Amino acid sequence: MHTDAVDELLFTALPDWYAFTARLQELIAERLGIGATDLQCLHFLNRHGPTTAGELARRVGRSTGAVTRMIDRLERAGFVRRMPSDTDRRSVRVAPTPEGLTILTEEFEEIAERSRAVLAEHPESELGALLRLVRALTDQSAREMSRLLD
């Protein structure tokens, strides 16, 4: 194990990257007139499609009550809509609106282009290794979040 590199990643590079990324997300959320957690919810819905409030609560690490209020805000702002479940008439699913997805896509389009340019400077083999690392760290963070919430 490369202790110096691991320590540099764990205690400097990744925390710095996270801090800048989190602040970037906050600034984008502010521009959209929503909260940072609201933006996380929209990212999840954009990536995974309609889901329940309970699943959103689990994914963003908030209580179901907080997520219900978040959905109310996003619905009033036109980003999401509630729709009946296909399988359980007592259940409601939350879906992004086409307008909401368009706004989200437009907001991130230029950032994504600049990020692609940075990634294009690296060989495919490095990107594959980076992708595996990010997925492993994401899984680890999800486990830590679950542990802290239990």
Q: What is the mean pLDDT of each run of 10 residues along the chain (150 residues)?
A: 82 92 95 93 94 90 92 96 87 94 93 96 94 93 86
Which of 1.10.10.10, 3.20.20.30, 3.10.20.740, 3.40.50.1000 is the CATH number of 15-119? Answer: 1.10.10.10
CB-CB contact of 53 with 94 (8 Å): yes
pLDDT at 43: 93
pLDDT of residue 3: 82
For 53-96, give the secondary structure using H, E and C: HHHHHHHHCCCHHHHHHHHHHHHHCCCEEEEECCCCCCCEEEEE
Q: Supply the pLDDT for residue 85.
A: 83
Domain limits of the chain?
Answer: 15-119
pTM greater than the 0.85 cutoff: no
